[in-house]
Amino acid sequence: MARRKIILYNPKAVFYTMPLGLMAVGSALDPARYDVQIVDGRLLDNPLQTLLPLLDDALCLGVTTLTGDPIRDALKVTRAAKAYRPDLPIIWGGWHASLFPEQTLQEPCIDATVQAQGELTFAAMLERLQVGQWFDGVPGCTTRVDGRIVRNPPRPMTPMNQLPPVNYDLINVPQYFQLKRDRQLDYISSTGCFFRCAFCADPFVFGRKWSGIEPTRIADELEGLWHRHHFHDVAFQDETFFTYNDRVIEMAEEFLRRGLKFTWTATMRADQGSRLSEEALQLCIRAGLRWLMIGVEAGSQQMLDHLKKDVKIEQIVELAQRCARHGVKGVFPHIVGFPGESDASIQATLNMATKLRRMHSSFETPVFYFKPYPGSLITDQATAAGYRLPDSLEEWANFDFVAGASGPWVSTQQYQMVERFKFYNRMAGGRKSPIKWPLQQLARWRLRQQNFRFPIEQKIIERIKPLPKMS
């Protein structure tokens, strides 16, 4: 049988992480039977010019989607592709299609959506197309049958060890290094998460399940990729990389044993950090651990409990102290502006951000507003209380956390308080530079004293050049 062409599209966006989702689904297809080509809209001025001719003899077009701005381009490209080849099946996968399987199909140009892990579902759907059949009954997808939208049963999570390695030849790796301005490889070593944070979509999409690649295989894969692509850093894009500390320890031992000389970054929950022994942390550092992303979310135990974060304030502080002691950079994201959140709770979170930032000059403590991202308990509560989520793809395209907007429940006074904090927090952070130094000191003093009267420097700087936004 002739190899069939499968085209996968990554929408335009302002960031250059490698398209791991598309690479994963593309790598799970038999190369003897499928010719997979990824078109990344972020790398092209006019993606349609490249994409449309490829569709001439394709079996299917797959599109990945995150909620928010990337939907705009995904929709534009999908509509153009359908107009160009009306008979071509178009499948959307990724987080938005996982959260809104049926609503996404209100768009007539999309033929099916895939929920959660896509590797086996997509492969099964293509098998159907190969023999001229539709997707009836294929687990893990939602489709239209006789004009009706039908959601098929979910597909149980496939253990990551049973999936083939991601084929990095599907993308032009050096081009991503160039755009990132960093020889940093993105890699995913696990899927899902066991936790239940009330602001996060992961429990909804993966049902609090987790699966990870075994440590020797991670080392094998990264060793091969390292020799091939000469990166100096790996960004583990896992939701909860340190789910099993033993797995990470074994991986770190493998890196050392093989003499792999690259650094790496990962996510760590503070409770997981508190279970990681000092010896194990030092081992990770020797094996290249360079920085950690540690979700703080809130500055009071009461709020953390409300968020079902299952982390103690002391665990966060203790982990930050350990990072500071060992010179591991910590990025500590915070969230404010939950529905009904009091001024005192917001202030506690801002205080926490200040406290952590002061622990080490390399620490970053970005503050985000809670945006009712779909699929979370708090969003469900907000909608039950009358908040209206978008109900079309056009509206979802305008729904973006990155824009830094707060929810309607944040008062003007709270918003001003947070914006002022964010301004000075940004100014206070970062490396020392002779030009920035006086302003940095002033910002630090203001944050310490909680004294924001006569913010002349803020007015001047915002007028001359808005600081790059952290959120």
Residues that bind ligand SF4 (CB under 6 A): 193, 195, 197, 200, 202-203, 239-240, 269, 295
Q: Taking CB under 6 A as the rule, does residue 21 contact ligand B12?
A: yes
Stretch that binds ligand B12, among 112-120, 274-282, 353-361, 416-424 (CB under 6 A): 112-120
Pattern 148-167, ligand B12, x by CB under 6 A: --------------------
Question: Measured between alpha carbons, how far is residue 294 from residues 8, 271, 283, 469 in Å?
Answer: 32, 10, 19, 20
**CB count in 10 Å sphere of residue 171:** 20
Partner whose footprint covers residue 195, from ligand SF4, ligand B12, none (CB < 5 to 8 Å by kind): ligand SF4
Partner whose footprint covers residue 20, from ligand SF4, ligand B12, none (CB < 5 to 8 Å by kind): ligand B12
Partner whose footprint covers residue 69, from ligand B12, ligand SF4, none (CB < 5 to 8 Å by kind): ligand B12
Query: Is the CB of 115 or the CB of 458 nearer to ligand B12?
Result: 115
CB 470 within 8 A of CB 458: no
Query: Is the CB of 196 or the CB of 229 nearer to ligand SF4?
Result: 196
**In degrees rounded to 5, what are phi and psi of residue 405?**
-85, 150
Q: What does the block give as tokens for 114?
A: 């895939």
CA distance 75 to 79: 6
CB-based contacts of 395: which residues, under 8 Å, 6+ apart?
A: none
Residue nearest ligand B12 (C-beta atom): 93
Buried b (16+ CB within 10 A) or exposed e, 438-466: ebbeebbebbeeeeeeeeebbeeeeeeee
Q: How far is the CB of 373 from ligand B12 (least distance, A)?
A: 5
3 state SS of 32: coil
Q: Taking CB under 6 A as the rule, does residue 68 contact ligand B12?
A: yes
Partner whose footprint covers residue 26, from ligand SF4, ligand B12, none (CB < 5 to 8 Å by kind): none
Q: Taking CB under 6 A as the rule, does residue 96 contact ligand B12?
A: yes
Query: Is the CB of 200 or the CB of 249 nearer to ligand B12?
Result: 200
3 state SS of 132: coil
CB 279 within 8 A of CB 248: no
Stretch that binds ligand B12, among 16-24, 413-421, 424-432, 441-449 (CB under 6 A): 16-24
Question: Measured between alpha carbons, how far is residue 445 from residues 5, 339, 360, 437, 453 in Å?
Answer: 60, 31, 16, 12, 12
According to CB under 6 A, which residues from 343 to 382 bind ligand B12? 368, 373
Q: Taking CB under 6 A as the rule, does residue 20 contact ligand B12?
A: yes
Using N-to-C axis directions, what is the helix angle for 245-257 and 278-286, rounded to 10°? 40
Query: Is the CB of 368 or the CB of 424 nearer to ligand B12?
Result: 368
CA distance 339 to 383: 11
Of 26, 47, 93, 337, the residue at the interface with ligand B12 (CB under 6 A) is 93
The identity of residue 290, as a single letter, is R
Q: What does the block give as tokens for 319?
A: 């982990």
Query: Is the CB of 62 or the CB of 429 nearer to ligand B12?
Result: 62
Q: How far is the CB of 46 from ligand B12 (least distance, A)?
A: 20
Q: Taking CB under 6 A as the rule, does residue 202 contact ligand B12?
A: yes
According to CB under 6 A, which residues from 236 to 255 bind ligand B12? 237-239
CA distance 12 to 9: 9
Question: How many residues of this chain interact with ligand B12, rule: CB under 6 A?
Answer: 39
Q: What does the block give as tokens for 313?
A: 């304030």
Query: Is the CB of 78 or the CB of 115 nearer to ligand SF4?
Result: 115
Q: Taking CB under 6 A as the rule, does residue 122 contact ligand B12?
A: yes
Q: What does the block give as tokens for 246?
A: 């033993």
Contacting residues toward ligand B12, per CB under 6 A = 13, 15, 17, 20-22, 24-25, 62-64, 66-70, 91, 93-96, 99, 114, 117-119, 122, 188, 200-202, 237-239, 368, 373, 400-402
